[in-house]
Amino acid sequence: MNTELQSFDPATGEEVGRVAVTPIAEIPNIVARAHAAQRAWGELTVEERRDAILPFGADLVAESERIGTILTREMGKPLPQGIGEAKYCGAGLGDTLNELTSALSAERLEDEKVLSHLVFDPFGVCAAITPWNFPLSMPHWALMPALMAGNAVVLKPSEKTPLVADEYVKLLKKHLPTDVVQIIHGDEAQGRALVGADVQLIAFTGSRAAGQNILAEAGKDLKRVILELGGKDPLIVLDDADLDAAAEFAVTNSFRNAGQVCVSTERIYVEEKVANRFEELVREKTAALKVGPGTEEGAQIGPMIDAGQRDHVLAQIDAAKSAGATVLAGGGASTGNFIQPTVLTGVTHDMAVMSEETFGPVVGIQRVSSDEEAITAANDSPYGLGASVFGGDLDRAERVARRLTAGMVGINKGCGGASGSPWVGARQSGYGYHSGREGHRQFAQVRVVSRMK
Ligand code: NAD
Q: Does the Cβ of 116 fall within 6 Å of ligand 1? A: no
Residue 213 CA to ligand 1 center (angstroms) comes to 11
Residue 206 CA to ligand 1 center (angstroms) comes to 2
Please report the pLDDT score of residue 2 as a whole number: 82
Q: Mean pLDDT by 10-residue block, N- to C-terminus, for the chain (453 residues)? A: 92 98 98 98 98 98 98 98 98 98 98 98 98 98 98 98 98 98 98 98 98 98 98 98 98 98 98 98 98 96 97 98 98 94 98 98 98 98 98 98 98 96 98 96 98 97
Q: Does the Cβ of 321 fall within 6 Å of ligand 1? A: no
DSSP states of 187-237: SHHHHHHHHHSS-SEEEEES-HHHHHHHHHHHHTTT-EEEEE----EEEEE
Which of 1, 129, 202, 381 gets mutated to test ligand 1 (max ligand atoms within 8 A of its CB)?
129
Please report the pLDDT score of residue 1 as a whole number: 60
DSSP states of 17-68: EEEEPPPGGGHHHHHHHHHHHHHHHHHS-HHHHHHHHTHHHHHHHHTHHHHH
Q: What single DSSP character describes residue 336?
A: T
Which residues does the annotation mark as catalytic?
228, 262
Residue whose C-alpha is closest to residue 137's, from 89, 94, 182: 89
Which stretches does DSSP call E strand in 290-439?
Answer: 326-329, 334-335, 338-339, 342-345, 362-368, 386-390, 408-411, 430-431
Q: What distance, in Å, lies between the first and last C-alpha atoms of the chain?
A: 61
